[in-house]
Structure 1
Amino acid sequence: MNPEDFLDVDRDLSGEERAIRDTVRAYGDAELLPHVADWFEAGTIPDPRGLARSMGKLGVFGMHLTGYGCAGAGAVGYGVACRELEAVDSGLRSFVSVQGSLAMTAIHRYGTDAQKQEWLPRMVTGEALGCFGLTEPDSGSDPGSMRTRARRDGDDWVLDGTKMWITNGSVADVAIVWARTDEGIRGFLVPASAPGFSANVIHKKISLRASITSELVLDGVRLPKEALLPGAEGLKAPLSCLSEARYGIVWGAAGAARACLLSAIDYAKSRVQFDRPIAGFQLTQRKIADMLVDVNHAMLTALSIGRLKDAGNAHHAHVSFGKLANVRAAQRVAATARSILGANGITLEYPVMRHMVNLETVATYEGTEEVHALTLGRAVTGLDAFR
Structure 2
Amino acid sequence: MILDDYRSPWLTEELDDLRDLSRTFLAKEATPNQERWAEQHSVDREFWNQAGAAGLLGLSLPTEYGGGGGTFAHEAVLMEEQAYAFDSAWNNAVHSVIVAHYLSVYGTDEQKQRWLPKVISGESVLAIAMTEPSTGSDLQAVRTRAVRDGDDYVINGSKTFISNATNCDLLVIVARTSDEPGAKGLSLIVAEVTDLPGFERGRVLKKMGLPGQDTRELSFVDMRVPVANLLGGVEGQGFVQLMQQLPQERLSIAVTAVASAEAAVREAIAYAKSREAFGKDLLEFQNTRFVLAECVADTLAARTMLDHLIGLHVEGKLDAAGASLAKFWTTDIQNKVIDRCLQIFGGYGYMSEYPISRMYADARVQKIYGGTNEIMKELIARSL
What TM-score bracket applies, with the shorter chain setting the length? over 0.9
The one of 70, 84, 87 equivalent to 1:87 is: 84
Contact 2:49-2:121 at 8 Å conserved across structures: yes
Q: Distance in 1 between matches of 2:87 and 2:369?
A: 12
The answer to whether structure 1 residue 188 and structure 2 residue 192 are counterparts is no
What secondary structure does 1:258 align onto? helix
Q: 2:168 aligns with which of 153, 162, 172?
A: 172
Contact 1:85 1:92 (C-alpha < 8 Å) held by counterparts = no
C-alpha contact 1:170 1:200 (8 A) present in aligned 2? no
1:165 is displaced (CA, Å) by 0.4
Q: Which moved more, 1:291-300 or 1:140-149?
A: 291-300
Q: CA deviation at 1:337?
A: 0.9
In structure 2, distance between residues paired with 1:38 and 1:337: 26
Report the Cα offset of residue 375 of structure 1.
0.9
Partner of 1:251: 255
What's the secondary structure of 1:131's corresponding residue?
strand
Report deviation, 1:38: 4.4
Find the counterpart in structure 2 of residue 70 from structure 1.
Answer: 67
Aligned to 1:10, what secondary structure does the other structure show? coil
Judge conservation of contact 2:42–2:89 (CA < 8 Å) in 1: no
2:211 alignment partner, one of 198, 209, 212: 209
In the aligned structure 2, how far is the partner of 1:33 from the partner of 1:102?
24
The equivalent residue for 1:5 is: 4
Structure 2, unaligned runs of 5 or more: none
Contact 1:90 1:358 in 2 (8 A): no
Deviation at 1:31, TM superposition (A): 2.8
Q: Percent identity of the aligned residues?
A: 30
Question: Is the Cα–Cα contact under 8 Å of residues 87 and 257 in structure 1 kept in the other structure?
Answer: no
Displacement, 1:296? 1.3
- Is 1:358 aligned to residue 362 of structure 2? yes
Query: Could you tell me which residue of structure 1 aligns to residue 346 of structure 2?
Result: 342
Displacement after TM superposition at 1:269 (Å):
0.4
Give TM-score, length-normalised by structure 2.
0.93
Equivalent of residue 377 in structure 1, options 370, 375, 381: 381
For 1:292, the equivalent position in structure 2 comes to 296
Residue number in structure 1 paired with 2:34 = 36
Aligned to 1:240: 244
String of CA shifts for 1:97-133, please: whole Å, max 9, x gaps. 1111232111111112221112111111111111101
Contact 1:123–1:129 under 8 Å retained in 2: yes
Q: CA deviation at 1:37?
A: 4.0
Q: Among 308, 317, 324, which residue is 1:320 paired with?
A: 324
2:127 matches 1:126: no
Q: 2:88 is paired with a residue of what secondary structure? A: helix
Q: Please tell me the residue identity of whatever aligns with 2:84.
A: A
SS of residue paired to 2:78? helix
| 1:91 alignment partner, SS class | coil
Report the CA distance shift for 1:290/1:28 in structure 2 as closer, same or farther (over 3 A): farther
Given that 1:86 and 1:92 are in contact with CA atoms closer than 8 Å, whether structure 2 keeps it comes out as no
Aligned residues: 375
Q: C-alpha separation between the residues in 1 aligned to 2:8 and 2:201?
A: 41
Q: Could you report, residue by residue, the CA deviation over 1:250-290 in whole angstroms, capped at 9, with x for unpaired residues?
A: 11111111111111111100000011000111000111111
Of 98, 104, 111, the match for 2:100: 104
Mapped contact 1:76–1:303 kept (Cα < 8 A): no
- What value does the CA root-mean-square deviation take over the aligned residues? 1.8
With 338-347 and 80-89 compared, the bigger mean Cα shift is at 80-89
Taking the aligned partners of 1:247 and 1:11, their CA distance within structure 2 comes to 17
Residue 46 of structure 1 deviates from its aligned partner by 4.9
Deviation at 1:36, TM superposition (A): 2.0
2:131 alignment counterpart: 135
- Aligned position for 1:14: 12
Amino acid at match of 1:353: S
1:36-66 CA distance string (max 9 Å, x none): 24433x151351x121112213333221221
Whole-Å Cα distance in 2 between the matches of residues 32 and 258 of structure 1? 20
d(CA) in 2 for partners of 1:283, 1:39: 37
On the 8 A contact 2:43/2:214 being kept in 1, the answer is no
Give the drift of 1:201. 3.6
C-alpha distance in 2 between matches for 1:361 and 1:43: 20
Between 1:100-109 and 1:26-35, the stretch displaced more is 26-35
Q: Look up the SS of the partner of 1:189 in the other structure.
A: strand
Amino acid corresponding to residue 114 of structure 2 in structure 1: E
Could you tell me whether the CA contact under 8 Å between 1:88 and 1:256 is conserved in 2? no
Q: CA 1:83 to 1:241, structure 2 compared with 1: closer, same or farther past 3 Å?
A: same
1:224 aligned residue: 226
Aligned counterparts of 1:46 and 1:109: Cα–Cα separation in 2: 28
Distance 1:38 1:348, change over 3 A: farther
Match of 1:199 among 194, 201, 210: 201
